């Protein structure tokens, strides 16, 4: 089967992106002959977030108007995370980061062919280990865990290298009409929004295989 590009717009602090990746991973593991060549693209849920991030309680109160409303809003996330088999430690999270630097790390990992590993490691750091992925030490540690040069990453993060590139790519997705994440774009044509179940991806893979045969 010919290779087909699967572009994924995502933010590493988006729980639906974490769940969506788990669903996609399950489908791909079940179909090792899948045609997808995957690239992750930056989309900041909170582009106006202060660079140092903010306390999670203040963030939730600002976004949802209080803890009770936040708990209610996150109930479906908890339910779907359990079904997807991903662990999210909402109780342990104390800060909501600005993700610009995390997106820079994903970009640099892509240059080294380690992009999927970087995305996975960032999701785990933030959701499972409740670490602040806006913190340079945490990002250097994530880089080290996927065999990138942590010292180089640390030096790059101290500059504004590729900051504008990330902002421009984020803006480009929005001009294309992407307004929520995850958004998956199959073959540069078909947008699939949301954390779709593995069954949907199995169907997409089957449809693509049939299309290739017909051609």
Residue 101, C-beta contacts closer than 8 angstroms, at least 6 positions apart:
134, 136, 139, 157
pLDDT tens track for 111-136: 999 999 999 999 999 999 999 999 99
| pLDDT of 215 strictly over 90 | no
Say which DSSP state 124 is in.
I
For the chain, give the percent of residues with pLDDT over 90: 93
pLDDT tens track for 173-188: 999 999 999 999 999 9
Give me the number of domains the chain comprises: 1
Residue 193, C-beta contacts closer than 8 angstroms, at least 6 positions apart:
180, 182, 183, 184
For the chain, give the percent of residues with pLDDT over 70: 100
Rounded mean pLDDT of the chain?
96
| pLDDT of 212 strictly over 90 | no
Residue 63 backbone class (left: φ over 0; alpha: ψ -120 to 50; beta: rest): alpha
CATH code of 50's domain: 3.40.30.10
| pLDDT of 148 strictly over 80 | yes
Give the structural domain span for 191: 4-214
Query: What is the per-residue pLDDT for 68?
Result: 87
The confidence band for 66, taking pLDDT boundaries of 50, 70 and 90, is: confident
Query: What is the per-residue pLDDT for 214?
Result: 83
pLDDT tens track for 67-100: 789 889 999 999 999 999 999 999 999 999 999 9
């Amino acid at each position: 089967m010919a290779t087909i590009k699967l572009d994924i717009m995502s933010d590493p602090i988006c729980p639906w992106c974490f769940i969506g990746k788990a669903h996609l991973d399950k489908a791909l593991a079940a179909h090792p002959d899948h045609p997808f060549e995957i690239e992750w693209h930056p989309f900041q849920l909170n582009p106006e977030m202060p660079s140092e991030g903010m306390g999670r309680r203040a963030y939730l109160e600002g976004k949802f108007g209080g803890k009770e409303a936040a708990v209610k809003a996150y109930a479906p996330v908890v339910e779907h995370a359990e079904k997807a088999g991903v662990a999210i430690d909402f109780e342990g999270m104390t800060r909501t980061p600005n993700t610009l630097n995390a997106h820079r790390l994903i970009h640099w990992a892509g240059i080294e062919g380690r992009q999927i590993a970087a995305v996975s490691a960032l999701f785990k750091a933030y959701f499972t280990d409740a670490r602040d992925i806006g913190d340079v030490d945490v990002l250097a540690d994530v880089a080290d865990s996927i065999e990138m040069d942590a010292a180089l990453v640390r030096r790059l993060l101290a500059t504004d290298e590729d900051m504008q590139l990330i902002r421009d790519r984020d803006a480009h997705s929005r001009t294309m009409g992407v307004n929520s994440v995850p958004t998956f774009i199959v073959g540069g044509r078909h947008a699939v929004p949301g954390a779709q179940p593995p069954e949907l991806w199995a169907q997409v893979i089957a449809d693509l295989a049939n299309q290739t045969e017909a051609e």
